[in-house]
Amino acid sequence: MALQRHHLSFLVIIISSVACQCCHGTALKDPLDLFDEGYSYVDDGGTFKDYIKQSEDVLSLKKFDNLGDDYRSPSLKMVNVNDYGAKGDGKTDDTQAFYKAWHVACSSPSSGAVFVVPQKYYLLKPITFSGPCKSNIAVQISGTLEASDNPSDYSKDPTHWLVFDNVQKLSVKGGGTIDGKGEIWWQNSCKTNKKLALTFYKCHNLIAEDFTIKNGQQIHVSFQDSVNVNVSTLTVTAPENSPNTDGIHVTNTQNIQVSSSVIGTGDDCISIVSGSKNILATNITCGPGHGISIGSLGARESKEFVSGVKVNGAKFSGTTNGVRIKTWQGGSGSANSIQFQNIQMDNVTNPIIIDQNYCDQETPCKKQKSAVQIRNVLYQNIKGTSASDVGVQFDCSENFPCQGIVLQNINLQHEGGGKAKASCNNAKLTYIGDVNPHCP
């Protein structure tokens, strides 16, 4: 099945300077009390409380019982790639052996199968593990998967390396390593030619846990058009100067939980883009990189939606951004019902930032009237240091101002000592408890 390709286009936007609009709240015990049908900044289509309840019900994903957690079970078919010709010497192309082994595992009876990658080094060209399969599949990666660094091997599809396509009830784990060998692509980086180290496409009921992904050609791991995903204990690494190497990328995916993971790359630690709903991220360590980003949204005047994002427990160290929402002018749609809480910022350049005038191009971007609406965003219990003078920045649209922005118990100091500042344009804000910095 053909995979969707996402090309980043370039718009022209001029960032305008407008007056700060701040609304100071009264003594509210619970910030979520703001997000009800009586709150003027919230439409009737959905509330923060509804999202919180839904996230607890849906995102408490269980470890699927029959995904091969017990590899010794006699009812499971064990499929070892070495038995199908894989050498595992790091030099021989093992792609065809992996294809053969996958076909056997995917065709196994309903009792389930385990696709075993032993503790060796396997050189792989682009490969797609296609479903649907007859049984549940557990992929046990104990060794290292290494990408071919020959660009000609990617001539048929220059946008993917490892793909799991339309595989249901899939578990990928085992403590191994996936190495994208991205150095040659970083030297000739082009954002419109994204290569992904690992892609899960149209996978439902997926577990991805306990392995390392490093040196992705560009994005390290992408969850695309998938439902019910549990990601945990991943280690994602690439040099700080590696271009466009997002750690975990979520697109058009619903009900995904990312927990207890360490991510340090040259781009966003976690990026969440259009069509994604009900995302829960907990216990995330981020740095280096560009922080956790929602967006960009609205490129090429597109209509895009993200809703129900909750980041609860994160530490950012030396990152360009902390928690960021970014949208292009000229787009439409919304980023709605978003919660950032219990976060530590250490020497972060932009700890809290909303940018509705995002412009990722060398030439200035022209000013446009339409924008992606940003509303119902809670920042709660965030502390630490800002590497820049401005610790809180809301640069929102004049025609579609940010609505329902709540800050509770914020304490951001300047890394060099003294207080950080806040810059707020066209944002309707409410403060609860001690908030520093806040708009004049």
Residue 425 neighbours by CB distance under 10 Å: 23
Mean predicted confidence (pLDDT) in 423-440: 94
pLDDT in tens, 159-179: 889 999 999 999 999 999 999
> Based on the domain organization, do 315 and 219 belong to the same domain?
no
Claim to verify: residue 114 and residue 140 sit in the same structural domain? yes
Sign, CA torsion 263/246/318/184: positive
Neighbours of 45 (CB within 10 A): 10
Pairing mode, strands 270-272 and 248-251: parallel
Q: 432 with 28: CB under 8 angstroms?
A: yes
In a domain, 4, yes or no: no
Considering the domain boundaries, does residue 219 fall inside one? yes
Q: Would you call 82 helix, strand, or coil by DSSP?
A: helix
Judgement on whether residues 205 and 335 belong to the same structural domain of the protein: no
Q: How many domains does the chain have?
A: 2
3-state helix, strand, coil in the chain (%, to 5): 10, 50, 45
Q: Does 13 map to a domain?
A: no
pLDDT tens readout for residues 399-427: 999 999 999 999 999 998 889 999 999 99
* Chain segment 65-96, per-residue pLDDT in tens: 344 444 456 678 999 999 999 999 999 999 99
CATH code assigned at 288: 2.160.20.10
Catalytic residue among 24, 290, 414, 438: 290
Determine whether 6 is an active site residue.
Answer: no
- Average pLDDT, integer, range 248-276: 97
How does the average pLDDT of the chain come out, rounded? 85
The per-type count for the chain, helices as H runs and strands as E runs, is 3, 28
Residue 98 host element (H or E): helix 95-106
Domain boundary among 260, 291, 313: 260
Lowest mean pLDDT among 69-83, 116-130, 331-345, 391-405: 69-83
Outline where 295-345 has alpha helix (H). none
Quote the pLDDT of residue 194.
Answer: 55
Domain assignment present for residue 10? The answer is no
Q: pTM surpassing 0.75?
A: yes
